[in-house]
Structure 1
C-alpha cells in the first residue's frame, strides 16, 4: 500500500449520509419482537464487534461495526452511541464510512483513545479486496487513524501502518499510552496461517514502529487472533499482571470448552515495555455461552476495567435477520483480578440504575419435579438467586426463561452430575439450539441473570464465570419459571428486578 491508499474514492460526508439513510430505511420497517430493551444495538442493519470504548469529555463512548444496508455482514462502518452514566444512552451519527482507497471495502474494527492533544483519536483497519472480489485470500488490510474535537465528527488522517508484505489478515488495532509512549497491538495471520499479535510503538500517534511479535498462538490450527486487547490488572495486594485478550479463529472444541465457531479468551502473564510478554496461564474463555466474541475494554476514572462484547451470530438460523436488524452488544462488565490470580467478570455497577421495581421472595424449596412461575412476562428483568446445593437433591434445577404457552423456553440450570451451569436451548422455538456448560469451583451457587427480549446473560458466583446466549422466544407472554427435575431444589434467596430501557 502506498500513499495512494489515502486518496478518496468518495466524499466522506456523502458516504455517511448514505449510511444514515440505509439504517433509517431498515429501522422504518423493523420488527421489534426481539429488539433489545437494555442492550446496545443499531436501529437497523447488522452490527458486530464493539469498538473503543472510551471516556471523552465526561461521556462514555461506544462504537461498533455496522453494515447499514442489510442484516447480514457487509461493508463495515462505525456506529456510535454515548452516555453520561452508562445507563441512558444517546444515539450519535455514524462515525466512519468507507471513503479512502485503503478502506474501499470496509472500515474495520479498532479502538478509540484521547490523544495528547485532547482530541479523540480513532484507530481502525482499512480493508479492501485486492482484486475487488469478496475472497478471504484477497484481503488487503492496513491500519488507519481519524481525529475529532467533539467526539462526534471525525477527520481521517489516512494510513498510519502499512502492510508492505501484503499479509491477508492484518487488523484490529488497540492503542493505549504508558510511560510517555503510545503502544498498539493488532492481530495477523502469517504466510503459514499462524495467529499472532503484533506490538508497535509511537511517540506521536502518527509515526509507528514495529517493536516485536507480542504473542504467537501455540496451536497451529489457530490461524488468526482477532480483536486483541492488552491491559494490566492488579489484585487487592497490588500485584500486577497483564492480560492479553483475543478472539481465536480456528480453535477446536475441547470437551466443554471452545464449542463455538470462533472463541474469545485470554492469557495472563507479565510484561514490561521493551520486553517480551511472558504468559503464565493457558488460554481461558471469557464466556462459556453460545454468543460472545470480540470483547474490548477501557479503563474507568475510578480504576475499574470495563468491557463490552458482541453477542455473535455466526451460526444459522438467525431469526432476527428478517426483522430489519441483527446483532447486539453485551451489558457492560467490570473485570478484576482476584487473590488467586483469576479474572472475575461481573455486571458493571452502573446497571443497578436500570432497576425500576424489585420483588423479593421468601426462602423456599421446590418439590420433586415442581415448577413455579416467578415472572409472568419477563421481557427485561434481572434475577439474583442462590441455590443451596448441599440441601438440594435435584439432578437439574434452576430457571426456565422466555417460557411461552407452546412450551418453548431456554434453561439456565445447575447440573448436579457435572457440577456445571448450563444454558440449554433444546426447547427453543427459534434459532440455533444446543447447550453450553460452565464450570465453577465452590459448593455454593449464586447467579445473576439478565434476560432481555432475545438474550440471556448469566454471571456465576460473583463473576467466577459468565455465559451469554441468544434465546429467541415465541409470541405471547414470556414467563420466567423456577424448576426442579429429579429431586428437590432449595432456594434461600431470590430477587427479581424489572429493568427500564436504555433509551436507544
Structure 2
C-alpha cells in the first residue's frame, strides 16, 4: 500500500495502556533482563553503555541481537516505541540496489508475515506489516539520522486500516488499507538489530545493526498522537557519542589485541591513508567496515592525535551513498586516497567505485570531498574528477604540490602490468582538469616485479632533489603468501624538471620481512617524515570472526635518507618514548638462555645493545612450559634475519609461512649493533640500528605466553633494557 504523508490528527486519549513488553536495559550490567528476553553475543557479556535514561544496550553490528517473546492480537493492533542511536548504516554485500538485504531496527517477521522496521545500507528506512489487505508499507522521506538518539514510534490500527511511522514525535507517513482488516503476524520471536533475512560473507553475518538501543515498549493497542506525545523520554537530548563508544569490556579478555598501536575501536580496518598534520593535530584516515570484522562497502574512518600515541576515535568521514534512486558514484565503496590542505580548506581525494560502466565517471574513479571544518569532522562530496580512461584499472591517489602546481599519482594496472599514472592540475581552462603527464624516465615494466596493479603510492622529498617513491604491487605473480610477496617497495631517485629518475631499477623492499605495507606519510614539526602502515592479519577468517576485529596499524616510524644516499632508513618515531613506563630491572646477561620477563606484561619495548657479531636469538611470547614461543634470529655475520613461528601457537589458526627470512645490508644499515623490539598483543615491531625495520603478527594461544628469552651462539654480553608500554593519560 502507498504511504500517505500527512499530519497526525490530535486525539483526546492520552492515557497509555499497560505495555505488553517493557525493556529499559538498566539491569543489564548485572545480567538481568525481563522474562522471555535474551541478548545474544559472541563476547563474554552484552555491551552496556549510557542510555536515554540509565543504561542502554550496545549492539556490535555482526554477532549480537536481542530477542523477546511477543504475542500480538491481529485484530487489536499495537503500538511500538523505542530509542535508537546508530553509529552507521548496516553493511551489505557489494551488490546493486535491487539485490540488497536490508537490516532491521526491530522486527517480528517471516516472509510476508509480521512487522519490520527496516533500514538498508544507504540509510533508506521505513516500516511494513502484513495484513489481510496485503503488505502495508511506510517509507521515510529522509535518510535515517546517524550518531544521535532518535525516538521511533509505530502505531498499527487494524480497525482504521492504518499503519503510522513517527520520528521524534513527527509523523513521517501513513499506510492505509481497508478498515477492519486483520494483521498477518509471524509466529517467531521479536528481534532487535538483526533482520529476518541475513546476508553472509563466509561465516560473517554482515547486515546486522551497529548502535545503541533503549526504552523499548510494545503496547497492546494503537497509540494516538496525543498518547505518543506523552510517552516518557529524556528532558534533553542525550549525548549519543558517549553511547556509541565501544566499551573496554568487549575486548578486555583478548590478550592478542594491541593496546598501544593505533587502530579502530572495533571491527575491520585496512590501509591507513591521508595522514596529515593540521596545526598541532594529526589526522589519520583509514579503510573501515564499521559493522564487523569483514571487508565490504568500505568507509573512511577517522582518528586524531596531538602526539601520534594517544588517538581519539572520530565519526567516519565518508561512506557509500546514493545520488539517485538506484545509483551513486561511490555506492560500492570509499577506497583509499589522500587528504591535502589548500587555501584554508581540506580536500579528500579517494577511489570511488560503483556498479556502472568502467569508463563512466566513477567506476572506478577518483572523487573529491571538501572540509571547511578545522577538526576535519564534516565533509561535503564534490563528486568524481577522474576516470580510468586509457588504463585497465587504477586506485589510491596521492597528491603533492610543487610551486603552484598540484600533482597526483595513482596506482595503476597498465597493459604491461603494475605501475603508476601521473596527472597535473591544469587551471588554464575554464574548468580545471587533471591532465596526464609523464612521470618517470623509464618504462614501468622495468620497475615492476610481475604484479597486476600497484596500490597506495607515496612520493616524498628526502633531501634536496632526492625523493623516495613507494608503491605496493599486488596481483599477477605477487601474493600475500607467495614469492614475490605482497609488501611495500621503494626507489630512491632525483626529481628534476618534472621527471623522476630512480637511482636503481630493481625495487628495494621497504621492510626486511613482509608483514607491514601501505604506509601513509606526513611531516612532523621537526620537518622529518612520519609513516604509519598496516600490519595485516596472518590468521584465519574464523579466528578474525571470533576476535571481533581485524588488522592493526603499525607504530609510527621516522623516515630518513641514509648516508649512502640510496637507502631509506626507518626508526621508531621519537614520539613513542611517551609510551614508556619505568624501566624494569634486568638480571645480568649471561651466555645461553636468559629468563628476563615475567608473565602479565602485555606490551613492552626491548632494547638489546650487542657488543660483538655473535648471532642472537630472541624467543618472544614464550610459555613457561616451552610449548609456545615466537623466535627471532639475527646473524650479523651472514647478514640475515629470521622469523620462526613453528612453535608460535597451539591453536592451528595461523595462516601463511611459518618461517620467513630476509637480508640485512650492513653496508647500507651499518653493523648490526642495536636491536629495538616492540611487543604489543599479537604485533611485533623490529628496528635494527634505527635504520632497518619490519613488523609481524603472531598469535599464541596459552595465557602465559608472555615470557622472553635471549640466547647467543658464542660468548657475548649484550646490554638489555625493557620498558613496559602504556597509553599515556
For Structure 1 versus Structure 2, the TM-score category normalised by the shorter chain is 0.7 to 0.9
Q: For 2:352 and 2:339, locate their aligned partners in 1 and report how far apart those are by CA, in whole Å.
A: 15
Match of 1:119 among 332, 337, 345: 345
Superposition map of 1:465-484 within 5 A: 465-484=692-711
Give the Cα–Cα distance (whole angstroms) in 1 for the partners of residues 454 and 211 of structure 2: 30
Instruction: Report what 1:186 is aligned to.
Output: 410
Q: 1:317 to 1:469 in 2, by over 3 A?
A: farther
CA displacement at 1:325 relative to structure 2: 0.8
Q: TM-score, normalised by structure 1?
A: 0.85
Aligned match of 1:428: 648
Name the counterpart of 1:263: 487
Contact 1:371 1:483 in 2 (8 A): yes
Looking at structure 1, the residues matched to 602 and 381 of structure 2 have their Cα atoms a distance apart, in angstroms, of 41
1:323 Cα deviation from its structure 2 partner: 1.4
Contact 1:15 1:99 in 2 (8 A): no
C-alpha separation between the residues in 1 aligned to 2:254 and 2:484? Answer: 27
What's 1:400 paired with? 619
- C-alpha distance in 1 between matches for 2:617 and 2:405: 50
Corresponding residue for 2:678? 450
Match of 1:81 in 2: 303
Which of 720, 726, 729 pairs up with 1:494?
720
How much has 1:385 moved relative to structure 2?
A: 0.6
Q: 1:121 to 1:423 in 2, by over 3 A?
A: same
TM-score of the aligned structures, taking structure 2 as reference length: 0.60
Aligned to 1:285: 509
Judge conservation of contact 2:255–2:602 (CA < 8 Å) in 1: no
RMSD: 3.2
Pairing of 1:40-439 with structure 2 (within 5 A) = 40-100=262-322, 101-116=328-343, 118-130=344-356, 140-150=363-373, 151-165=376-390, 167-190=391-414, 192=415, 194-202=417-425, 207-212=433-438, 214=440, 216-218=444-446, 219=448, 221-234=450-463, 239-250=464-475, 259=483, 261-273=485-497, 275-281=498-504, 282-313=506-537, 316=540, 319-341=543-565, 342-359=567-584, 361=586, 364-367=589-592, 370-390=593-613, 392=614, 397-405=616-624, 407-415=627-635, 418-429=638-649, 430=651, 431-432=654-655, 433-439=657-663
Q: CA deviation at 1:260?
A: 6.4
Relative to structure 1, the CA distance from residue 52 to residue 20 in structure 2 (aligned partners, 3 Å threshold; closer, same or farther) is farther
2: CA distance between counterparts of 1:481 and 1:405?
10
Partner Cα separation in structure 1 for residue 542 and residue 612 of structure 2: 36
- Higher-Rg structure is 2
Q: Of the two structures, which has the highest relative contact order with CA contacts closer than 8 Å and spacing of 6 or more?
A: 1
Deviation (angstroms), 1:489: 5.0
| CA pair 199-14 structure 1, distance change in 2 beyond 3 A | farther
2:112 match: none
8 Å CA contact 1:288–1:468 kept in 2: the answer is no
- Further displaced range: 425-434 or 322-331: 425-434
Is residue 394–residue 413 contact of structure 2 (8 Å, CA) maintained in 1? yes
Q: Which residue of 2 aligns with 1:135?
A: none
Cα distance in 2 for residues equivalent to 1:157 and 1:253: 35
